[in-house]
A and B are shown apart, each in its own frame.
Chain A
Amino acid sequence: MITWKTTALASAFAVLGTTASMADCGITSGKVSILGNDFPAIQALVEAAKECAGNGVSVSSNLTTEHRDIQVAALTANPAQYSSAIVANSSIVPLMNDGLIRPLDDLVAEHGQNLKPSQLITIDGKVMAVAFMANAQHMFYRSDLIEQAGVTAPESYEDVLAAAEAIRSAGIMEHPVALNTKTGWNLGEEFVNMYSGYGGVFFQDGTAEPNINNETGVAALNTLKALTEYSNPDFLTFDSNATQALWESGEVAIATLWGSRAAGILDAEGSTSDVTSTTVLAGAPTVGNGTTPATTLWWDGFTIAANISDEDAEATFIAMVNGISPEVIAANNDDAVWLGEGYTPGDASVGIFASVQGGAAPYPMLPYMGLMHTALGDELSDFLQGQETAEQALADVEAAYRTAAKEQGFLQ
């Protein structure tokens, strides 16, 4: 019922917004088409951008979770299939590598008065994207179970392991911990987070040479393995949907999950009030006596295609800025941790803010990071299953990465 009312209210706002923005959208002609991921914050953005349509301006969109697989081909076409691609730290890289997105400095100067300087993604002095929301994996824990086990709220992964042991030995839960450890991208991301928490650097300075087969890497892997030993034995199949379901069914006490899942976890849907009322969001834990949270910070932002006319580019920029106007952000406040004006931090954003304030590192935006991530995701499961040593697993990652990087021309 509450959801229904919120939706109704949101659409009422949207309608109000239409009449207001029709006048100040200020586009007279052009074709706007948006490619992006499919989740509520982006849906809200695109809805608002579509209000600029009419009078010779057309706005269309394709929101799909498979956007990363089509974006390069779609923007390589001339004219590009989409005038704007909504990307994140990692998915902007292939577009940059091929020069498929245009610098936005002129457009920002002309139409970006409402944007904060921190929203501008500046690469070598040129604005290449405008970020509108932040995301990070951080800790969720159940205050009642922690208390029942007689431990204090964990702040580091060492605390998490101690708390997990206390919960297990108190007979409360056999598998109290959950991480997104599905073989592939998710598992790679867990290592990236942990390695960053230990202060590790993925590549040798300024080159594509890998730099993970070292003591830091071994320490990160061992911590990851220690955590998975408190996870359900199916942990290599856990993606965000699986861990959210586990959390909502009350089968987990401490988890590291995406901040963007927090709103869904805290709402009444799919869970009981016993779980939602005792769920506490906190920044990502630190690890190995480090001071920064063991997580990487992500942003989502929009880019403008290179292979379109200047007129379409301008229309697209104005429509997209309209999509993240303070009114839109205020009307969809809880859908994301918005970076623009008009955002009031809510309950679901606590974990992400704590991680940002703790000084967590942004996910590395390097041309070859995607290859490293893939290699990590494919090669680490043998170690977590106890079939090989940490050193061997890291050597395998470096070997797999080198093979791919040579083929892509990053290494000789």
Chain B
Amino acid sequence: MPHRTFLWFIFPSLAAMILFIAMPIASVLIQSLYVEHEQVIVLGETCGPFGCTPSTTVDVEATAQLKEDAPLGRFNGLGTYLDRGHLAVNELRMAWAISDGLGDFLSRVMNLPFYKALAFTMTFTFVVTPLVIVLGLAIALGVNGLPKMLKGPTIFVSLLPMIVTPLIGSLILFWMIDADGIIGKTLQVIFDDPDLSLKASPTLTWIVLIIYGVWHSAPFAFIVFYAGLQTVPEETLEAAMIDGASRWERIRYVVIPHMAPLVVFISLMQLMDNFRVFEPIVGFSAQANATSLSYIIYSDLRGDQQQFGSAAATSMLTILGVAVLLTPVLIRTWRDFNRKRA
């Protein structure tokens, strides 16, 4: 295809990508470099139904003048990225200087909001992704072996967790694992511990969130693998059977190599999806024990006072995180592509 034709060919999608992806990211990047104006505070008195109290207020006129002079706010460079709410460079340096031993240092690091969130986000991503792939493949193989009549209904039921809205799904589970809920109570009886609470301890909360993540994403892997299974060449399978390969050997040496590109695809999607884990944290009210990068952005943008600069900086760091995570997978795909072309 001549370059000119090619350019016209991709122009619409390129334009859409610039408009809806590149420009918003650029705007967030700019926002992350600025912080709010200095607020001009004046002393005064506030009176209401419960009497008068001395108080301070923002001098609106003086602040409006500042805003007019510099609509974007004060330029802060990378200041927001390095502050305690994000990379916390000074706090890290201090923790390193005063901590006695690696354990102490790590516990100090985990006390910083960004690293706390990063720890859960990474754990979630790296535990859920492989489990989803393995479980999805297992379900696909199982369903593929079913008699034709049962396949339709089984596929439908297996897809349900993905159809349920994440927030609703996690809320339903939240009440089931409550100390008075069906799962929570059953576990208390099984372990004979009336104080057992899945919501109270950080470890159990992490496990619950991870199980939820696998439950929610496995159907996606399943349906992709199931579609892939329909394309496994019959002749190779039959040849393997004639050679005396067991069911496991056929899966190991024929089916899995055939599905390798799908594994790459699902890993890519799942790494991206799981890295921005958010809904289950809200649904399970797990903020005390587990936060994620997306959750930090959300809490910055909610409530009486929004912190746009801080949210923007966390967003940029999240994009950076996704890019780092995907690099190995992308490099691999690129090599495969070049090898095939050669």
Contacts and interface: CB of A to CB of B under 8 A. Distances in A.
Interface of A: 68-69, 72, 89-91, 93-94, 96-99, 118-125, 131, 134, 174, 182-185, 206-208, 232-237, 239, 297, 299, 339, 356, 360-362, 364-367, 370-371, 374, 378, 381-382, 385, 388, 392, 396, 399-400, 402-404, 406-410, 412
B37 interface: yes
B57 interface: yes
Given A408-B36, A409-B37, A119 B57 contact: no
B33 to A, nearest CB: 12
Contacts of B60: 96-99
A93 B55 contact: no
Interface string B51-69: 1011111101101100000
B46 A121 contact: yes
Nearest to B38: A409
Nearest to A236: B288
Interface string B15-38: 000000000000000000001111
B228 interface: no
B113 interface: yes
A366 B55 contact: yes
A361 B74 CA distance: 36
B49 A400 contact: no
**Most chain A CB inside 10 Å of its own CB: which residue of B35, B45, B56, B64:** B56
Contact of B299 (A207, A378, A392, A399): A378
B302 interface: yes
B303 A364 contact: no
Contacts of A94: 304-305
B50 A365 contact: no
Given A131-B48, A232-B179, A378-B299, A404 B307 contact: yes
Contacts, number: 172
Contacts of B91: 399
A237 B41 contact: no
A356 B41 CA distance: 30
A96 B46 CA distance: 12
Contact of A234 (B39, B200, B303, B307): B200
A28 to B, nearest CB: 32
Contacts of A134: 49-50
A410 B288 contact: no
Interface of B: 35-39, 41-51, 53-58, 60-61, 63-64, 74, 76, 80, 83-85, 91, 111, 113, 178-179, 194-195, 197, 199-200, 202, 285, 287-289, 299, 302-307, 309-310
Contact of B197 (A119, A233, A299): A233
Given A99-B64, A121-B46, A233-B179, 19 more contacts: A69-B302, A93-B305, A94-B305, A96-B58, A122-B47, A122-B48, A124-B42, A184-B299, A206-B43, A206-B56, A239-B285, A297-B50, A299-B50, A361-B50, A365-B53, A366-B56, A378-B113, A407-B35, A408-B39
A72 B305 CA distance: 9
Nearest to A129: B48
Contact of B46 (A123, A385, A396): A123
Contacts of B310: 403-404, 407
A339 B49 CA distance: 8
Nearest to A297: B50
14 contacts: A90-B304, A119-B49, A122-B47, A124-B45, A125-B44, A184-B299, A233-B179, A234-B200, A297-B50, A299-B48, A367-B58, A403-B85, A407-B307, A408-B307
A400 B199 contact: no
B84 A400 contact: yes
A225 B202 CA distance: 18
B48 A409 contact: no
The 10 closest A-B pairs by CB, nearest first: A99-B60, A124-B44, A381-B288, A233-B200, A370-B304, A183-B288, A237-B285, A236-B288, A233-B197, A122-B47
Contacts of A123: 44-47, 55, 57
B104 to A, nearest CB: 12
B27 to A, nearest CB: 16
Nearest to A369: B304
A140 to B, nearest CB: 20
Given A356-B50, A366-B56, A400-B85, A408 B200 contact: no
B181 to A, nearest CB: 11
Given A97-B39, A124-B57, A403-B85, A370 B49 contact: no
A98 B64 CA distance: 8
A237 B302 CA distance: 19
Contact of A236 (B41, B76, B200): B200
B285 A403 contact: no
A407 B199 contact: no
B113 A408 contact: no
